[in-house]
Amino acid sequence: MKKVFALLLSLTLCVGLLSACGGSKTETPASSGESGSSTATGSVYYLNFKPEQDEAWQNLAKAYTEETGVPVTVVTAASGTYEQTLMSEIAKSNPPTLFQVNGPVGLANWKDYCYDLTGSDVLGQLTSEDFALKDGDATLGIAYVIESYGIITNKTLLAKAGYSVDDIKSFADLKKVAEDITARKDELGFAAFSSTGMDGSSDWRFKTHLANLPIYFEYQADGIGTTDAIKGTYLDNYKAIFDLYINNSTCDPAVLSGKTGDDSRNEFLAGEAVFFQNGSWEYGNLVGDGKFTDDDLQMIPIYIGVGDEANQGLCTGTENYWCVNNSASAENIQATLDFMNWCVTSETGTKAMANDMGFVIPFKGAQESPNLFVKQDATYTAEGKTPVSWNFPTMPSENWKNEVGNALTAYAAGTGTWDAVVSAFVDGWASEYAAANG
């Protein structure tokens, strides 16, 4: 009996191993089922960058599958790990068919994997050529969302402190208001800024978005659009605004390193702070039942005391470009292109992107977004203010951002100096640029 059992066992093992090598394994009906269907009609695997919109994408994917029968898998990378996840997923036998890069610098790393979108339906839907990401003649990526960020202001609280948003027209105004609120913090019961969270889920607001401003003004001054070595002309202004944030905040600078994006938002929602630096993508989290109404909020430009502050608008741009993986099978590429086109043309798709995700999409079929901050951006532009462009796609690497973030965290906590931030900013730029392009 035991002999038979043993023989059977070893036989099944061998067979199991061999059939595993053959590529089909009876124990995994899920995987074999899916690979079967993918050869017939193609399938889509979208590696989503935006954790806030994970649920909306999952629902949209489900709706698409119900409508067309084409399977769509959406996987969302945890915040701060997109590159890491893409790196490991792209090497798999079932790699993402749709992924994203953050602009020219990201494209340089991934262009070998980008399918040329020239002539595709979805490209024809773009409202402007400017939203296409090109490499020579090939169009390798298309922007799918335009966003704005600035300082989201709780107007109700600001009025309580005796000011209105019209009082803030420059960095000097902002500083005066913030410091006045801090001085009366106990009496008012709230602080000026919500916590400058330097946890990995939130530090991009400062190491990337805030850092855009000194870079923008330097590019403006020098009349360039990208550089291999940043000079750091306006780093003192960067320091001034960062100091303003951390010293007029809901909490002690020393504990900022552990504060997450959620902490910061919750403080703002709870009315513990007047200002919250973030972008139009936060709209859905701030407005709704038991939260704010549109009348409570306004997004104001981030003034750092450089340039023509009277005519400065919000920071508007994109770092989200869709790319189609050219190493996917022909059917999957077609399925992906169809999915993208559906997202930006169909009623369901455009509605979901406008309402559920709160996006303004640069496509002809776009629905008007109910997003207050987006409308305000349009108002600023109509008033003749110049939007600050997004220059962080020209930052030399993710690592550069991380090094600046680390230095900022240490500076905020008092364990590091501002010189370390400057060095990470200026020297780090040069060395990372060399490492990426050398």
Partner 1 sequence: MEKKRTLKDSILTVVLGILSLAWIYPIFMILFNSLKKETSISTGTAFQIPNSGSFAGLENYINALTSKGFLSAFWYSLVITISSVVLILICCSMCAWFITRVKSWYSKALYYMFVFSMVVPFQMLMFTLSSTADRLHLSSPYTICIIYLGFGAGLAVFMFCGFMKSIPLEIEEAAMIDGCTPLQTFFRVVLPILKPTLISVGILETMWLWNDYLLPYLVLDRTKGYMTIPILIQYFRGSFGKVEMGPMMASIMMNIIPIIIVYLLCQKHIIKGVAAGAVKG
Partner 2 sequence: MEKTIRRYWPVFVLPTLAAFIIGFVWPFIQGLYLSFCKFITIDNASFNGLKNYIFALTESDFLHSFWFTALFTIVSTVCINVAALAIALALTREIKGTNLFRSVFFMPNLIGGIVLGYIWNILLNCALTLLGKPLLSLHAPYGFIGLVILMCWQQIGYMMIIYIAGLQSIPNDYLEAARIDGATERQILWKVKLPNLMPSITICLFLSLTNGFKLFDQNLALTGGDPAHKTEMLALNIYQTFYGRSGPQWKGYGQAKAVLFCILVVVIGLVQLKSTRSKEVQQ
For partner 2, the binding residues (CB under 8 A) are 6-7, 10, 13-14, 17-18, 21, 83-84, 86-88, 90-91, 106, 108-110, 112-113, 254-255, 257-258, 327, 397-399, 403, 406-407, 409-410, 413-416, 435-436
From the list partner 1, partner 2, none, pick the one residue 434 interacts with, judged by a Cβ distance below 5 to 8 Å according to partner type. Answer: none
Nearer Cβ to partner 1 (281/400): 281
Closest CA to 92 of 79, 106, 73: 73
Using CB under 8 A, pick the residue from 58, 68, 94, 389 that binds partner 1: 94
Distances (CA, A) of 10 to 23, 26, 63: 20, 17, 46
Tokens (6 digits) for 347? 């009623």
Is residue 301 a contact point for partner 1 (CB under 8 A)?
no
What's the CA angle centered on 97, arms 94 and 99, to 5 degrees?
Answer: 120
Q: How far is CA 259 from each of CA 182, 262, 353, 403, rounded to the nearest angstrom?
A: 20, 8, 30, 18
Both tokens of residue 28?
A: 């995994």
**Residue 13 interacts with partner 1 (CB under 8 A): yes or no:** yes
Residue 111, SS3 per DSSP: helix
Closest C-alpha among 155, 54, 211, 142 to residue 372:
155
Q: Does 91 bind partner 1 (CB under 8 A)?
A: yes
- The dihedrals phi and psi of 72, each to the nearest 5 degrees, come to -125, 120
- Contact flags string 226-265 toward partner 1, x per CB under 8 A: -----------------------------x--x-xxx---
The yes or no reply on residue 164 touching partner 1 (CB under 8 A) is: no
Q: How many CB atoms sit inside 10 A of residue 130's CB?
A: 9
Q: Which is nearer to partner 1, 52 or 272 (CB)?
A: 52
Cβ closest to partner 2, residue 16 vs residue 69: 16
Window 61 to 90, contacts with partner 1 (CB under 8 A): 73, 75, 78-81, 85, 88-89
Q: Which does 94 bind (CB under 5 to 8 A by kind): partner 1, partner 2, none?
A: partner 1
Contact indicator for 325, 115 with CB cutoff of 8 Å: yes
201 makes contact with partner 1 (CB under 8 A): yes
Q: Smallest distance, Å, CB 114 to partner 2?
A: 13
C-beta separation of 164 from 295 below 8 A: no
> CB 213 → partner 1: shortest distance, Å?
22
> Of 349, 208, 284, which Cα lies nearest the Cα of 51?
284
Nearest to 125 by CA among 438, 343, 308, 321: 343
- Pick what 419 binds: partner 1, partner 2, none; C-beta below 5 to 8 Å, kind-dependent: none
Q: Which is nearer to partner 2, 334 or 423 (CB)?
A: 423
Segment interacting with partner 1, rule: CB under 8 A, options 91-99, 156-164, 179-187, 429-437: 91-99
Residues contacting 117, CB < 8 A, separation 6+: 123, 132, 139, 140, 141, 142, 324, 337
Is residue 302 within 8 Å of residue 279, measured between CB atoms?
no
In contact, 98 and 339? CB cutoff 8 Å: yes
Minimum Å gap between C-beta 77 and partner 2 is 11
Closer residue to partner 2 (CB): 109 or 329: 109
Binding site partner of 410, from partner 2, partner 1, none, Cβ cut-off 5-8 A by kind? partner 2
Name the minimum Å distance from CB 36 to partner 2. Answer: 23
Minimum distance of partner 1 from residue 21's CB (angstroms):
6
How far apart CA 172 and CA 179 sit, in angstroms, is 11
CB nearer to partner 1: give 46 or 171: 46
